[in-house]
Structure 1
Amino acid sequence: MKYALTPIALALLATAGAAQAETVRFATFNASLNRDAAGDLLSDLANPGAVGVSTIVANRIQQARNVAEIAQRVQADVLLVNEFDFDLNGTPTASSVPMGLGYSSEGARLFQQNFLSVGQGNGVRGLTSGIDYAYRYTPNTNTGLASGFDLNNNGVIGGGDDAFGFGNYGGQFGFTIYSKYEIVGVRSFQNFLWKDMPGNLLTNDPTANPLTDFYSADEINALRLSSKNHVDVTVRINGQDVHFLTAHPTPPTFDGAEDRNGKRNHDEIRFWADYVNGAGYIYDDQGGNGGLAAGAKFVIAGDYNADPFDGDSYQGAINQLLGDPRVNTSLTPASAGGTAAATYPSNNGTANQSHIGDPQFDTADFSDSAPGNLRVDYVLPSANLEMTDAGIFWPVDPDTSVPNTTGDLFDLVGTFRDPNLYANLASSDHKAVWVDVTVVPEPETYAMLLAGLGLIAAASRRRK
């Protein structure tokens, strides 16, 4: 005699089928969606067809379309976009107020609606389909936020170099997060003071030019660690919480012998190393304390402006993450385009020839004069997440003797210093970097499902 399964039994069986390992792609892209003047990004994103604008503005809008097409080709499930100007409900600005869970800037909404959701491409490299993210989060930023101090010691208070994070206007160079998975929690650390990190390079500087000589006592008491923000965006995947740890530390350049930016970059990177190890000194903008719990799953992402071998970063800066046993480095994202770019005809110098690092791992096409191409963009999962694949969107130029106007795939990235394009590049000097990880249900989830199926079987036997 046959028995029909009850609706509860059917639901449990469906859940059991769904509770399998899930491959999730995390990506970071410093997309250079910053603009020279406040409000320009908003107006660009509101006009995807470039109607009634100058050639300069049309090039900016085309750059945004190229960024969107790259995102569509990468097909990330969770995406961090660095250098995306911040706005508060359509007003370009910045403040020290943390944005609540679910906040999306108007710029982030417009980029989704008018660019990401709309297919891009052409007949040469092929067309792409739109990509839709159900969830977004745009944090506030220290960039362009006036400090009230002469932080660069030039005798004048004001300008981007005297802001809490460099920016010529409030919100410039911010960042935003897109996710296909629900964002269930946010912790931001915009207001964390640099001096409150034990053993920091602000007040414990071992060099011949200590920062305690460069900054006044009042400045030291006001300086924030994060040049933009450090944000833990928690996404729920397959019943589990994965912490997407996003940031964009300052470049370790544009300073003097005191190396204030290099030291800040080092400690901004160190913050996540301490955070994933559960450091108790940490406090967030929401009133919480401490780092991640032991065993928490995470993915560190962003433009960290530090190469493990080359460039100007302070000693061992990025190795604080690459050498941490809690971080999974079993796969290193690579591209054939990075290898090829190291030997392309030089645009203005020979820095790449003296580099130690393998160019296939480079993620940024910088000036060939200095510092040359570098690996500065990272997606680093926790050791308890299995990495299955990784890559960098950097195609090879099929013909370096012709301009990048043929419509092929390489035209989306181009080469450094093309004066005919916005900011001299088709999209950005940085490339999109991605990593695939496997997220499996916790053992307790399997145990619950098995127990439920066992009860169903027992009930069926009793009825029979």
Structure 2
Amino acid sequence: MKTTLKPLAAALLLATAASAAQAETVRFATFNASLNRDASGQLLSDLANPGALGVTTSVANRIQQAHNVAEIIQRVNADVLLVNEFDFDLNGTPTASSTATGLGYSSNAAGLFQDNFLSAGHGNAVRGTTSGIDYAYRYTPNTNTGLASGFDLNNNGVVAGGDDAYGFGNFGGQFGFTIYSKYEIVSVRSFQTFLWKDMPGNLLTNDPTANNLAAFYSQEEIDALRLSSKNHVDVTVRINGQDVHFLTAHPTPPTFDGAEDRNGKRNHDEIRFWADYIAGADYIYDDQGSTGGLEAGAKFVIAGDYNADPLDGDSFKGTVNGQQYNAIGQLLDNPLVNTTVTPTAPGGADAATHPSNNGTANQSHVGDPTQDTADFSDFAPGNLRVDYVLPSANLDIEGSGIFWPVDPDRNAPNTTGDAYDLVGNFRDPSLYANYPSSDHKAVWVDVTVVPEPEQYALLLAGLGLIGFAARRRG
């Protein structure tokens, strides 16, 4: 019997194929989760013991913090997620080196966090329970934090300690980061060893201020200094048949220095790196031996704790010798970046006047507190917007948010079981890191990823062949 493709069947096939080519909404998120620890190896041991069996109260608090972080991640339910401040290990050995990790590398800690925390449900009867979340793909890059430089970078007369590492860290790998994705990670580019001096017009050798860095650092130090305090990593994920570049980093805080403002200037140029990268700058080279930035028209999402508020705080901004500077403004005012929607949360405004604060810094802030993403000391610098998820201008934003609920009862302890208990009041000394989870809040943006025109062309060509076959068989 000859099988024929009737017009109705062809129409159904057309509808099915067209549906497969529709836009897909994808949630990208960043969370500085404070999953760093005070000593090498502690994160691995914490994540290997989710039940906190046989440990002291202080260790149990650390493990509970990891559970709280996991629950927040589950409630945000991002498809692609960057976790900042996640101690690095190489196959279970806490360390850091200048060797780039390959595509598909996941640290043991990242795997333990998935298996023992993210895969397990959390919550309670008050705020509701969550289901486990599974990320099929992970990538953990190496990091400059705690990696000895061999130089006295803070000029204190001694070559030792976190300040003299390529990126601040009291041990190798502290404050690293890792990426989780529900979509396939198809390529990675890292820029851990890119030298600061190789950025044209950088603030290391072209410092316009009176306290310039060319006078602070020796020539040998200038020749060795790396731009990235942790790493800059382009993690490319394939969504709806096309590639989206997830541009991840964690620039140094613009503080903990002196009048020379070495960290503020480095923070500025770490942020500038992505502005140049998305513009396709040809001076850029990666750890894999390739050069150049993104191609024109590439889709990307910039994410991370960038330690820079557009209006408040200590990031490098203002006018120097007639030149305007604004560290995060290099991205927020960039025409290649979609800033039509700014994530907000009511908890930021609530925290700005919370009685747990210890000063008046928030009262002098210019920025909208609902856009803040970090609960810092109200003595200084106050709460700030420092965590960002910034899609490219050719991606449409469908929604956004910050996981920062309002405190429902300022007179109650953070033990009532509501969602606020996951973020807590400012600096509770009884908790690890002084918070139930972190001083930073999870931030997310939903974008639509639509097939490229050539995908539609291929679809139509295929349907044309189907129609031709149907006519021949009819």
User: How would you bin the TM-score normalised by the shorter chain?
Assistant: over 0.9
Corresponding residue number in structure 2 for 1:187: 189
Instruction: Indicate the SS of the match to 1:61.
Output: helix
Corresponding residue number in structure 2 for 1:380: 390
Instruction: Give the whole-Å Cα distance in 2 for the aligned partners of 1:207 and 1:349.
Output: 30
Instruction: Give the whole-Å Cα distance in 2 for the aligned partners of 1:113 and 1:455.
Output: 46
In structure 1, what residue type is equivalent to 2:409?
D
Instruction: Give the whole-Å Cα distance in 2 for the aligned partners of 1:138 and 1:5.
Output: 51
User: How many pairs does the alignment contain?
Assistant: 464
Corresponding residue number in structure 2 for 1:261: 263
Equivalence map 1:36-435=2 (5 Å): 36-315=38-317, 316-435=326-445
Q: Using a 3 Å threshold, how does the CA distance of structure 1 residues 197 and 454 change in structure 2: closer, same or farther? A: same
Instruction: Give the whole-Å Cα distance in 2 for the aligned partners of 1:215 and 1:34.
Output: 29
Instruction: Give the whole-Å Cα distance in 2 for the aligned partners of 1:395 and 1:5.
Output: 56
In structure 2, what residue type is equivalent to 1:163?
A
In structure 2, what residue type is equivalent to 1:440?
V
In structure 2, what residue type is equivalent to 1:443?
P
Instruction: Give the whole-Å Cα distance in 1 for the aligned partners of 2:310 and 2:373.
Output: 12
Q: Using a 3 Å threshold, how does the CA distance of structure 1 residues 81 and 309 change in structure 2: closer, same or farther? A: same
Instruction: Give the whole-Å Cα distance in 2 for the aligned partners of 1:5 and 1:93.
Output: 64
- The Cα of 1:17 is off from its aligned counterpart by 2.5
Asked if structure 2 preserves the Cα contact closer than 8 Å seen for 1:9 and 1:453, the reply is no
Instruction: Indicate the SS of the match to 1:390.
Output: strand
Instruction: Give the whole-Å Cα distance in 1 for the aligned partners of 2:252 and 2:281.
Output: 22
Asked if structure 2 preserves the Cα contact closer than 8 Å seen for 1:117 and 1:132, the reply is yes
Instruction: Indicate the SS of the match to 2:111.
Output: helix
Corresponding residue number in structure 2 for 1:457: 467
Where do 4+ consecutive residues of structure 1 move more than 6 Å?
Answer: 5-13
Instruction: Give the whole-Å Cα distance in 2 for the aligned partners of 1:451 and 1:303.
Output: 45
Q: Using a 3 Å threshold, how does the CA distance of structure 1 residues 9 and 201 change in structure 2: closer, same or farther? A: same
Asked if structure 1 preserves the Cα contact closer than 8 Å seen for 2:5 and 2:473, the reply is no
- The Cα of 1:123 is off from its aligned counterpart by 1.3
- The Cα of 1:346 is off from its aligned counterpart by 4.4
Q: What do residues 128-172 of structure 1 show as CA deviations (whole Å, max 9, x unaligned)?
A: 000000000000000000000000000000100000000000000
Q: What do residues 260-292 of structure 1 show as CA deviations (whole Å, max 9, x unaligned)?
A: 000000000000000000000000000000000
Q: What do residues 178-228 of structure 1 show as CA deviations (whole Å, max 9, x unaligned)?
A: 000000000000000000000000000000011011000000000000000
Instruction: Give the whole-Å Cα distance in 2 for the aligned partners of 1:253 and 1:463.
Output: 74
Q: What do residues 240-266 of structure 1 show as CA deviations (whole Å, max 9, x unaligned)?
A: 100000000000000000000000000
- The Cα of 1:12 is off from its aligned counterpart by 7.4
Instruction: Give the whole-Å Cα distance in 2 for the aligned partners of 1:11 and 1:110.
Output: 43
Q: Using a 3 Å threshold, how does the CA distance of structure 1 residues 454 and 186 change in structure 2: closer, same or farther? A: same
In structure 2, what residue type is equivalent to 1:292?
L
In structure 2, what residue type is equivalent to 1:415?
N
In structure 1, what residue type is equivalent to 2:246?
F
Indicate the RMSD between aligned Cα atoms, in angstroms.
Answer: 1.6
- The Cα of 1:339 is off from its aligned counterpart by 1.0
User: Structure 2, unaligned stretches of length 5 or more?
Assistant: 318-325
- The Cα of 1:3 is off from its aligned counterpart by 2.7
Q: Using a 3 Å threshold, how does the CA distance of structure 1 residues 398 and 222 change in structure 2: closer, same or farther? A: same
* 440-449 vs 194-203, greater mean Cα deviation: 440-449
- The Cα of 1:2 is off from its aligned counterpart by 8.5
Instruction: Indicate the SS of the match to 1:460.
Output: helix
Q: TM-score, normalised by structure 1?
A: 0.98
Asked if structure 1 preserves the Cα contact closer than 8 Å seen for 2:407 and 2:420, the reply is yes
Q: Using a 3 Å threshold, how does the CA distance of structure 1 residues 135 and 281 change in structure 2: closer, same or farther? A: same
Instruction: Give the whole-Å Cα distance in 2 for the aligned partners of 1:199 and 1:284.
Output: 19
Q: TM-score, normalised by structure 2?
A: 0.96
In structure 2, what residue type is equivalent to 1:437?
V
Q: What do residues 67-92 of structure 1 show as CA deviations (whole Å, max 9, x unaligned)?
A: 00000000000000000000000000
Asked if structure 2 preserves the Cα contact closer than 8 Å seen for 1:99 and 1:140, the reply is yes
Asked if structure 2 preserves the Cα contact closer than 8 Å seen for 1:297 and 1:385, the reply is yes
Instruction: Indicate the SS of the match to 2:349.
Output: helix
Q: Using a 3 Å threshold, how does the CA distance of structure 1 residues 182 and 5 change in structure 2: closer, same or farther? A: farther
Structure 2 residue 442 is the aligned partner of structure 1 residue 440: no
Instruction: Indicate the SS of the match to 1:451.
Output: helix
Instruction: Give the whole-Å Cα distance in 2 for the aligned partners of 1:307 and 1:455.
Output: 55
In structure 1, what residue type is equivalent to 2:204?
L
Instruction: Indicate the SS of the match to 1:227.
Output: coil
- The Cα of 1:10 is off from its aligned counterpart by 8.6
- The Cα of 1:4 is off from its aligned counterpart by 3.9
In structure 2, what residue type is equivalent to 1:330?
T
- The Cα of 1:236 is off from its aligned counterpart by 0.1
Q: What do residues 290-328 of structure 1 show as CA deviations (whole Å, max 9, x unaligned)?
A: 000000000000000000000000010000000000000
Asked if structure 1 preserves the Cα contact closer than 8 Å seen for 2:194 and 2:285, the reply is yes
Instruction: Indicate the SS of the match to 2:180.
Output: strand
Q: Using a 3 Å threshold, how does the CA distance of structure 1 residues 371 and 13 change in structure 2: closer, same or farther? A: same
Percentage identity across paired residues of the two chains: 81
